[in-house]
Structure 1
Amino acid sequence: MRSKRFGDADRTVDAREIDGEPFGDIMGALEALSDDETLLLINSFEPEPLYDVLEERGYDYETANPEPDEWHVEIERA
């Protein structure tokens, strides 16, 4: 069970503001998280390919689609 409300992340990466491929920025932000921190990823599409990578690397995630063309993925260590 999450101790924080969805959207109450400790850090945020807005992939829409990254010039080029955001994967490295996302992974770097995740590696910098402490065990009790969460990362909010904001993207213009649902980043489905990222989900398998997150699971393989030991992260849990929750996804929301608050606006058309705006996806929020809150990520934390499993």
Structure 2
Amino acid sequence: MVGTIVELDVREDLQKKIEPFEKIMNAIKPLQSGDMFILHAPFKPIPLFPIMKAKGFTYEAEQIEKKHWKVTFIKQG
């Protein structure tokens, strides 16, 4: 059973030079075990991976277009 799914697209923020880190952290704060966070970014957000891992998330990154990465994070129990 999949819990809550939160989806966030930060491509526009990054285009406007707005750092989306705080927005991402606020989005994942309420997530529980089994919940999913889907991030859309213009590049593979490698610096985010160890942070999310430390917060108990596994992830899968997939490149959809040249400047569109979809990363699915799943909160572990």
TM-score by length of 2: 0.81
Structure 1 segment 1-78 matched on structure 2, within 5 A: 10-18=5-13, 20-78=18-76
Task: Give, as a single letter, the amino acid of the residue that structure 2 aligns with 1:58.
Answer: G
Aligned residues: CA RMSD: 1.8
- Percent identity of equivalent pairs: 29
Moved over 3 A (4+): none
Structure 2, unmatched stretches of 5+, are none
Between the aligned partners of 2:8 and 2:35, the Cα distance in structure 1 is 14
Between the aligned partners of 2:39 and 2:70, the Cα distance in structure 1 is 6
Structure 1, unmatched stretches of 5+, are none
Between the aligned partners of 1:10 and 1:57, the Cα distance in structure 2 is 17
TM-score by length of 1: 0.80
Secondary structure, counterpart of 1:48 in structure 2: coil
Cα shift at 1:16: 1.1
Q: How many residue pairs are counted as aligned between the two chains?
A: 72
